[in-house]
């Protein structure tokens, strides 16, 4: 169980850094946004992993079940809203990318830089 | 057995993420990110977060993929070769990863009932919800009632993002605007028999499921955020099949704009009514003579507000993207 738990955290670290790499190293703006959603997903995974209780159920009461362990509802609430906020901000980012494409004719970072600083 | 399954899915997640970053074809990357969302939703479900899994599956695999594809249609489908490989970035990323992995050695072990997360307010929520609100789904209770301020803030963030997209893309395209009826844009997939028939069969059930998730959120996984995403997905499917113009006949732009503001207004309005009835802002206990019933009515109202705003924003964003492109 110990190693399985650590693996969850290592996958979090891996995903966070894969997303971060896409944001800093990829010149394509859409790719950067995909990387940003990977980064977000990694944070979601961290929170949900922390809320888990061994041998517990999802925090929804069921009739006839007493003395049952439940996982923590709080991280789930935070992440549930964060997912929807995440897609809204991603949509805003995509809107900005589309406007950049219309103004500059490209969505590659280095080409935009060249147009701005000829 | 379950832990073996978790390890398998987590490994698949890492592989998918690497493939997303590696792929030069953005279309492939977006499709893979849909798979990524389904995989991570499975992990959430295994970690007892049914509500989160439902949200991730609806938003990540459904809406997000459509929005990214819409953006790709307007920009470029292939990523260019980068001028430099940015070795510094790789070094920074690897170093940070090592620091993070070192940090994980000090975390409480997975499933520890005595971890700090489990010993602070969580037990209080679990013990007191039957007493104060008396609904089975504690996640909905925390979302709507105990942390109602938070959720109101999140709804306003969604609202602001929606308004932002409308400002950015609402103005007509510089390449000359096309009427919705002209060219292939209005046609959708109308000439493809099988997608159209299957889609038409599915849409009523998706809508029904969305409404169930909306109004059954107190008893089972669900609520306004998930329902909003599912209902928006059904309308987007209709728009893809029948053409955008038809979808706009069902839910015209003015109605969508009204929904964006109206949902947030309903949520805030419930808070103000609570104030006027002598309680605190968003303290639903004062809504009826019985505090527990008041809480339940308040939750139902604010969840409806959340659902309306989320549906409105997601559909407005979709139409803003679609109006610029050649679907």
User: What is the ipTM, given to two decimal places?
Assistant: 0.94
Q: Does A31 touch chain B (CB under 8 A)?
A: yes
Distance CA B151, CA B165 (A): 21
Helix (H, G, I), strand (E, B) or coil at B78: strand
CB B310 within 8 A of CB B217: no
- Partners of A86 on chain B (C-beta within 8 Å) are 59
Q: Test B47 with A28 for CB contact under 8 angstroms.
A: no
CB A69 within 8 A of CB B113: yes
Residue B48: exposed, middle, or buried by beta-carbon count in 10 A (0-12, 13-18, 19+)?
A: buried
CB neighbourhood size of B114 (10 A): 9
| 3-class DSSP string for B164-175 | HHHHHHCCCCCC
- Partners of A84 on chain B (C-beta within 8 Å) are 55, 59, 154, 158, 225, 228-229, 310
Q: Test B75 with A101 for CB contact under 8 angstroms.
A: yes
- Partners of B225 on chain A (C-beta within 8 Å) are 80-81, 83-84
- Partners of B80 on chain A (C-beta within 8 Å) are 27-28, 108
CATH code of the domain containing A54: 1.10.287.3510
Angle between the N-to-C axes of helices A2-25 and A29-51, in degrees from 0 to 180, rounded to the nearest 10: 160
Helix (H, G, I), strand (E, B) or coil at A28: strand
| pLDDT of A68 | 80
Q: Test B112 with A99 for CB contact under 8 angstroms.
A: no
CB B228 within 8 A of CB B310: yes
Q: Look up the domain containing A88 and give its range.
A: 2-59+66-116
Helix (H, G, I), strand (E, B) or coil at A57: strand
Distance CA B68, CA B26 (A): 9
**Which distant-in-sequence residues (6+ apart) come within 8 Å of B275 by Cβ?**
B281
Q: Does A105 touch chain B (CB under 8 A)?
A: no
CB A90 within 8 A of CB B64: yes
Residue pLDDT, tens place only, B159-174:
999 999 999 987 655 5
Angle between the N-to-C axes of helices B26-46 and B65-74, in degrees from 0 to 180, rounded to the nearest 10: 170
Tokens of A18: 């894969």
CB A94 within 8 A of CB B67: yes
Residue pLDDT, tens place only, A23-67:
999 999 999 999 999 999 999 999 999 988 888 888 888 877 777
The alpha carbon of residue A118 is apart from the nearest alpha carbon of chain B, in Å, by 16
Q: In 3D, which of B277, B275, B264 has the Cα closest to residue B311?
A: B264
Degrees to nearest 5, angle at CA B283 with A82 and B224: 35
Q: Does A74 touch chain B (CB under 8 A)?
A: yes
Distance CA B270, CA B83 (A): 55
Tokens of B150: 């938070």
Widest Cα–Cα separation across chain A: 72
Count of structural domains, chain A: 1
- Partners of B317 on chain A (C-beta within 8 Å) are 88, 91, 95
- Partners of B117 on chain A (C-beta within 8 Å) are 50-51, 72, 74-75
Q: Does A98 touch chain B (CB under 8 A)?
A: yes
Distance CA B170, CA B323 (A): 9
Chain B: residue nearest A33 by CA? B68
- What chain B holds in terms of domains, given with CATH numbers, is 1-80 (1.20.120.1200), 135-327 (no CATH)
Distance CA B25, CA B15 (A): 17
Chain B: residue nearest A74 by CA? B122
Q: Which of B67, B79, B111 sits opposite A5 (nearest CB)?
A: B111
Residue pLDDT, tens place only, A54-107:
888 888 888 777 778 889 999 999 999 899 899 999 999 999 999 999 899 889
Distance CA A9, CA A45 (A): 8
Q: Which of B59, B129, B168 sits opposite A84 (nearest CB)?
A: B59
Interface test with B, best of A19, A29, A32, A34 (most B CBs within 10 A): A34
Distance CA B107, CA B197 (A): 52
Tokens of B185: 């844009």
Helix (H, G, I), strand (E, B) or coil at A56: coil
pLDDT in tens, chain B (327 residues): 788 999 999 999 999 999 999 999 999 999 999 999 999 999 999 999 999 999 999 898 889 999 999 899 888 888 887 777 788 999 999 999 999 999 988 888 888 888 888 888 888 898 888 888 888 999 999 998 899 999 999 999 999 999 999 999 876 555 544 444 444 445 667 778 888 889 889 999 999 999 999 999 888 888 899 999 999 999 999 998 888 888 899 899 999 999 999 999 999 999 999 999 988 888 898 888 898 999 999 999 999 999 999 999 999 999 998 888 644
Distance CA B15, CA A88 (A): 26
In sequence order, the β-bridge partners of residue B137 are A60
Q: How many pairs of residues across A and B have Cβ atoms under 8 Å apart?
A: 313
Q: Test B137 with A22 for CB contact under 8 angstroms.
A: no
């Amino acid at each position: 169980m110990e190693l399985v738990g650590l693996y969850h955290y290592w996958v979090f670290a891996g995903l966070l850094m894969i997303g971060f790499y896409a944001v800093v190293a990829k010149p394509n703006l859409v790719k950067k946004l995909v990387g940003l959603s990977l980064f977000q997903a990694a944070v979601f995974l961290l929170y949900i992993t922390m809320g888990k209780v061994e041998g517990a159920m999802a925090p929804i009461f069921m009739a006839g079940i007493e003395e049952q362990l439940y996982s923590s509802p709080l991280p789930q609430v935070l992440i549930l809203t964060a997912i929807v906020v995440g897609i809204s901000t991603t949509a805003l980012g995509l809107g900005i990318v589309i406007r950049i494409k219309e103004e500059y004719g490209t969505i590659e970072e280095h080409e935009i830089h060249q147009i701005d600083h000829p | 057995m379950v832990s073996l399954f978790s390890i398998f899915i987590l490994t698949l997640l890492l592989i998918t993420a690497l493939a997303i970053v590696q792929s030069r074809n953005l279309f492939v990357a977006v499709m893979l990110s849909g798979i990524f969302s389904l995989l991570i939703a499975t992990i959430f479900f295994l970690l007892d977060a049914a509500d989160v899994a439902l949200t991730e599956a609806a938003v990540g695999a459904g809406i997000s993929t459509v929005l990214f594809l819409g953006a790709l249609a307007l920009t470029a489908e292939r990523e260019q070769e980068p001028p430099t490989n940015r070795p510094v970035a790789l070094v920074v990323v690897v170093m940070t990863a090592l620091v993070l992995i070192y940090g994980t050695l000090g975390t409480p072990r997975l499933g520890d009932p005595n971890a700090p997360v489990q010993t602070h307010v969580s037990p209080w929520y679990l013990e007191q919800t039957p007493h104060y609100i008396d609904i089975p789904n504690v996640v909905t209770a925390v979302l709507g009632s105990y942390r109602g301020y938070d959720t109101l803030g999140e709804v306003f963030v969604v609202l602001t993002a929606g308004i932002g997209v409308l400002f950015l893309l609402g103005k007509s395209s510089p390449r000359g605007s096309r009427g919705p009826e002209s060219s292939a844009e209005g046609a959708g997939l109308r000439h493809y028999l099988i997608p159209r028939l299957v889609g038409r069969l599915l849409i009523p059930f998706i809508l029904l499921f969305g409404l169930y998730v909306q109004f059954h959120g107190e008893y089972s996984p669900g609520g306004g955020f998930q329902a909003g995403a599912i209902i928006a997905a059904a309308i987007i499917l209709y728009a893809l099949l029948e053409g955008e113009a038809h979808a706009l006949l069902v839910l015209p732009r003015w109605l969508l704009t009204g929904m964006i503001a109206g949902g947030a207004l309903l949520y805030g309005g419930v808070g103000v009514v609570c104030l006027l009835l002598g309680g605190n802002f968003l303290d639903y206990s004062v809504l009826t003579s019985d505090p527990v019933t008041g809480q339940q009515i308040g939750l139902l109202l604010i969840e409806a507000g959340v659902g309306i705003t989320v549906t409105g924003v997601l559909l407005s964003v979709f139409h803003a993207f679609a109006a610029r492109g050649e679907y």
